[in-house]
Structure 1
């Protein structure tokens, strides 16, 4: 993608080292911001996983939040019912969250990924709404009252530190895996589907299995992050945490668009800009933060349709042509 050339003058490994330092040293240097840093890495995972379909393949999904919510609930139920010590229950619950999320992606993908365009987007939106309503009415998972998770056994403050590092690890693994994947022939197949689905079919690509497999990869990382985020928060609300389509579900789309969807670094950059801006709104515009966030969404859509990476690439192309 041309947007990836927007940071071509910066060595790729320089950025990776800087992010690694932030992920490892940030919670220690800025202990008062540990929770915000943990959520930053969650936002990075949201944006990168959404971009696998929405950016690389051109399938704009509003249903990715379903896999995050499944990870939340699967981990919570396992930890509640298995009777294991905290960390063993967390490990088993996280693994279960990933497995169940992948299974759900395979099932829903077989039903939805045969349709295209706006119909697919509307179908995934309905999926996220239905998931929230099912969880809110299911007594086994707490229904509308929500579900509390086991208490972290460490000292005060250790929980946030542990999950900040855990979510950083998930975000780093997700990004590095995508970085590798996009450089393979499979990555080229994703771009071929986005550029011309019919031509990709004519070339012999098995487009539907490719789309389902890609959604399963996204679901895998979202299921893990859901299990970890639920434990960090300590409580699952079906509409405001697990299947929060109006917030998390929309934000993952906006972050990818803001940074530049379909680019390697765009979703990461978009997640950083969006999360920092949102935190500033909550700090300095309390009471008006939702208004400011709504205006930010309008600015993103109107002034950055190609994202920050695309804007940088376009500016550089104009300077070189002048």
Structure 2
């Protein structure tokens, strides 16, 4: 009961912060929108990396696929995409308010679907790999997808795509996209947390603990692995679609498929907060993003050193992450019951 009350308190605090902080600090709306994006990335990565034990370095591929899928839908509803992305500027671009919002909503939905379908197609093959082979394989997949898009002239190739301009007053667009990412982050966490409480959650934890034994017990491990990856891909695809419109311009290597930044950040954030826990990725994402913004503002040139130091300290001293360390220290606060009788007998045996 205490754990449930704690969960509700944390949700209430996050929602209150999401509503009131932008009102108090309107100049930082875009930075806070990215913070919620970081939360979503860490939470979805942890679904496979923490709960299932499959450490992916390629989830950023879903983000980029959702971004480009959304762009194609938004532009294709009004213009020929090939002409729109032509370097010589063959057409005069003019989206009406109705065209913009229709395209945006359809694009966001299609971005999530496209990323999910991609995960469903490549999942059975990629998730057949284990350990470091899976991590390296997914990294190669993300790099390969980025390179393929870079050479695809239909979507502008390496030149990128200018997204439709938000049809509102200056500054309004950042608030709209902030709200979208904020709501998406909260909803995705609630949905994934609810999934963990079902048979599905028990199955993916069994895969993490011992996949061979899970298979011997009759669990269709590959099916559960692919479904988990598809769920993560769905939310990442939607996030990519929103972030692409928020950026206003997308290109393959730095915005859509930033493997060296967002692709690594989502792993680091889950590790810092405590992978395999419900709230660890959220805590890690918020702390990591705050430190990142502060160091990049006041320690320009040393920001990578600061972020690297955080990761090293985490790996050396807090391998279970901040929340994992807290759960070991105060288990009752997180709803974990410790049998004192068993603990005492264990200590007695150890002393003997």
On the 8 A contact 1:46/1:222 being kept in 2, the answer is: yes
Q: Which residue of 2 aligns with 1:258?
A: 272
Q: Which residue of 2 aligns with 1:184?
A: 198
Q: Which residue of 2 aligns with 1:57?
A: 52
Separation in 2, partners of 1:79, 1:91: 9
Deviates more, 1:20-29 or 1:115-124: 20-29
On the 8 A contact 1:254/1:300 being kept in 2, the answer is: no
On the 8 A contact 1:62/1:121 being kept in 2, the answer is: yes
Between the two structures, name the one with larger relative contact order (CA 8 Å, sep ≥ 6): 1
Root-mean-square deviation (CA, aligned residues, Å) is: 1.9
CA offsets, 1:39-61, max 9 Å, x none?
01100000000000000000000
Q: How does 1:270-309 map to 2 (within 5 A)?
A: 270-309=284-323
**Structure label with greater radius of gyration:** 2
Shift of 1:178: 1.1
Shift of 1:8: 4.8
Shift of 1:316: 3.2
Q: How does 1:106-255 map to 2 (within 5 A)?
A: 106-255=120-269
Determine which of 27, 35, 41 is the counterpart of 1:32. 27
1:20 aligns with 2:15: yes
Deviates more, 1:60-69 or 1:291-300: 291-300
Q: How does 1:77-92 map to 2 (within 5 A)?
A: 77-83=72-78, 85-92=99-106
CA offsets, 1:261-319, max 9 Å, x none?
000000000001100010110111022222222222222222221100111123336xx
Separation in 2, partners of 1:112, 1:186: 20
Separation in 1, partners of 2:144, 2:313: 30
CA offsets, 1:222-244, max 9 Å, x none?
00000000100111121111111
Separation in 2, partners of 1:79, 1:9: 41
Runs of 4+ in 1 over 6 A off after TM superposition: none
On the 8 A contact 2:272/2:311 being kept in 1, the answer is: no
Shift of 1:116: 1.0
Shift of 1:80: 1.4
Q: Which residue of 2 aligns with 1:4?
A: none
TM-score (normalised: structure 1): 0.94
Q: Which residue of 2 aligns with 1:315?
A: 329
Q: Which residue of 2 aligns with 1:69?
A: 64
CA offsets, 1:189-209, max 9 Å, x none?
110010010110011011101
Separation in 2, partners of 1:239, 1:294: 22
Separation in 1, partners of 2:315, 2:148: 32
Q: Which residue of 2 aligns with 1:42?
A: 37
Separation in 1, partners of 2:4, 2:178: 31
Shift of 1:114: 1.4
Shift of 1:9: 9.9
Separation in 2, partners of 1:243, 1:166: 21
TM-score (normalised: structure 2): 0.86
Separation in 2, partners of 1:165, 1:103: 26
Q: Which runs of 5+ in 1 are unaligned?
A: 1-6
Aligned residues: 316
